[in-house]
Structures are given as C-alpha cells and as structure tokens.
Structure 1
C-alpha cells in the first residue's frame, strides 16, 4: 500500500465522506487513490484552489465534521491559504493536503533552492494560520503524521492543518505501519 492509498483509507476510517479538490500534476497519485474508492468518498472538483479550502471550511461549519481539501503544489497550495486562515480564526477543523515536487527537488537543509518546478516552502508559509503544518518527506512515520494532523485539527479549539505531500512520498510504500 502506498502513502496515497493509506491516506484515503485513513480518511474513510475516520468517517470522511466528502473531499474538495483541484487537479494538478503533483497531486495525481492521491487523486488516483480517491478514484479507486469513489463509492466510499466523494470528490467535489472545484474551479480554483481557494474554492477548495473555502468549501472544506464551509463543510466543517455546516456539518460539524472535518473538512478536507486537496490542491497541487506551489501557487495552487498558496491559493488555499484564505480557507486555512478562515478555519484558524473561526475555529473550524479542516485538513489541507497539498501535492509538492519530489523530495529530491525540494529546498535542502542548507536553504539553497533546488529549483523544483513550483516548489514552495508551504510549512513556513502556513505556520501562523494552522494548528499543525508538516511536510511528509519520508514514508517512514507517515502513519503518525496523518494521525497527528487529523487529531490536531479536532483537539481543543478546532482549526486547520496542512500536509505538504511530495509526489515521491505519495507513491512510496508505507514504512513503519
């Protein structure tokens, strides 16, 4: 089982029945995993990434459940920040899942950009408007990252969380399950 398939299984196990998303190259493995389970979880396609995050926020407000959205990398992920901020300020649980470039193309520990197409440091950008912001940069511990993100959105005062999900990790087999 790869990380994308695990994440979809996890969401279904938690009772998530609807997700809101915008297609893009760096989120395709996750979208494929959603498609395989389309009878159990409905994907609502939005016309803009901001609409995905705001739809997830509206869903959380009206149902009392966690709202889940996905976008592609870079500017696509950044377009969802308004919905995350809304959830943060008003205390509603949403989870953003944002595809990103493969880990080998991401910024290294030295801070030197590796020139990944549409690479963004999403964790730094969302740290002040989320309860938890993380890059899943290895399949080891992925299970814990997903569980923690989901629980953080719902614990205490509810709010948004975001998972930066690199393409190679979406396709990687789960390790440490």
Structure 2
C-alpha cells in the first residue's frame, strides 16, 4: 500500500501541478483510510472505527461509503511536518447508554498537503463546504486537477481540524505530531 501511494503523495506534498486520475484517488483514499485506522490506535481506549470497516479495508482495499475524505493545498507552517489530529465522539444517542464513539474526524498535514477524513455510523451526513477542499472519497467521477485555485493557511487548517469538536461541544484534544 505504501509503495502504491508514494508516487501519488509526493507531488501533493510538494504542491506540484498535475492531474490525479480517479484510480490514483482511490489508492490515495485507501492509504489515508489505513493511516487514520492505524493512527487511531495511539489512543487504544478511544477507538471509533468499527472492526468491520478495518476488515473491509484489509479485504477489498476500499473504504465504506460512510467515509468522506477531502484534501487541500496547504501553505502554512504548523501542519507541514506530519501532524495528525483525531477527534471522536457520539453523534446519535445510544439506547443502551453506551458512550462508544460513532463518529471520527481526522486531520493530517504533510508538506503542502492537508487531509480531512471523517466517518460516522450515525444518521448524520458529514459535509465540508470549504471551497479550498477537494473531495476524493467517495470518489469523484472525473480526474482531479491539482493544486486547486485556492489554498489554506495555518488559521484555516486549525479551524477545519477543530470543526468537529466545535460542532459537538467537545474539548480540544490536541494534535499528535509523529
């Protein structure tokens, strides 16, 4: 997976203009999903991604349709050196009273690439209305031209990364720098 994703990631990280095929977007989405799934285990007592989704990734190298992934051209400094920020929470009340998270929201920064991945098993639809973000999962129907006309900076990246905690009224959890 790493070998297949590396030539797709490199021009994104360096902000190089190019076109990304839908096939490459599927590979990139799979790599991002795997990275989020592995990164979540930095806090093993707060796992939000169900085993069924992990098994699907392992068997089919494809994320479920409940996931959404966006990428942006990032031109700041705070998120440049591989930063990861992960929020999770419960959107829908559980009739059993369980507090097990049903939603996760992860931001990753690497060089000029900012990634936002989100998924939920709740009835909520996750949207991103930021015009600098390009949705890559679910897959778009056409190739993606890179970079987009507008980039994001440190303030906007922080705002996006904190949006789930603001919406859910959760405390800021801090970023995980790898």
Fold match by TM threshold 0.5: no
Greater relative contact order (Cα 8 A, min sep 6): structure 1 or 2?
Answer: 2
**TM-score, normalised by the number of residues in structure 1:** 0.30
Which one has a bigger Cα radius of gyration?
Answer: 2
**Greater per-residue strand proportion:** 2
**TM-score, normalised by the number of residues in structure 2:** 0.29
